[in-house]
């Protein structure tokens, strides 16, 4: 988990640059979810129990394994899954706490109601709604910083899904 957290920080500072256009939603989600999926598959592939289960090693040498029935096989699959989920869940947790992938993805989200909620309280709300996708690339302006802080807060605290139900 610690190696994954450090890797995410290095990866986000070196490789991640939000495009600030209509592709930012897809770009942000890809950087958030694809490494997590790769870590999950790697965790499953590197598990010793996975190879014993899939190659039939236990079927040929039943004294070495205790997988004689479906229940014990289910327990083994559960053990493999829980071990394999440590790295991806760490990746997603650290990425959401950092907030840059989420910030990039949600500034490019094509949901008018979500944009209205994010831009609520900004003096030029209409301008904010139309130019939201360019906010991660700008470094100036109190209003821009306020919107980006709101997005970082959304990534760190689960935001109610009722926004999307309104559209």
Is residue 165's pLDDT more than 60? no
pLDDT in tens, 34-48: 999 999 999 999 998
119 sits in which H/E element: none
pLDDT confidence of residue 131:
78
pLDDT confidence of residue 41:
96
DSSP code of 89? H
User: Which two three-digit tokens encode residue 111?
Assistant: 């949901």
* Residues 146, 135 contacting (CB under 8 angstroms): no
Nearest of 120, 102, 80 to residue 28 by alpha carbon: 102
pLDDT in tens, 60-116: 666 656 556 677 778 888 999 999 999 999 999 999 888 888 888 888 888 777 777
pLDDT in tens, 106-148: 888 887 777 777 777 777 777 777 778 787 777 666 777 777 7
The pTM (predicted TM-score) of the whole model is 0.75
The label of the residue with tokens 């958030």 reads 32
pLDDT in tens, 16-33: 888 888 788 899 899 999
pLDDT confidence of residue 56:
66
Q: CA 30 to CA 164: how far, in whole Å?
A: 21
């Amino acid at each position: 988990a610690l190696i994954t957290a450090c890797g995410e920080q290095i990866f986000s500072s070196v490789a991640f640059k939000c495009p600030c256009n209509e592709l930012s939603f897809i770009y942000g989600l890809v950087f958030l979810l694809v490494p997590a999926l790769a870590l999950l598959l790697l965790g499953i592939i590197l598990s010793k129990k996975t190879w014993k289960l899939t190659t039939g090693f236990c079927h040929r040498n039943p004294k070495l394994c205790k997988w004689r029935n479906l229940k014990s096989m289910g327990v083994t699959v559960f053990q493999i899954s829980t071990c394999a989920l440590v790295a991806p869940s760490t990746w997603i947790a650290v990425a959401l706490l950092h907030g840059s992938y989420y910030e990039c993805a949600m500034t490019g989200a094509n949901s008018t109601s979500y944009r209205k909620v994010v831009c609520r309280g900004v003096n030029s709300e209409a301008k904010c709604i139309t130019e939201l996708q360019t906010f991660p690339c700008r470094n100036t302006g109190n209003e821009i910083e306020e919107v980006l802080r709101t997005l970082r807060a959304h990534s760190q605290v689960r935001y109610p899904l009722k926004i999307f139900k309104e559209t």
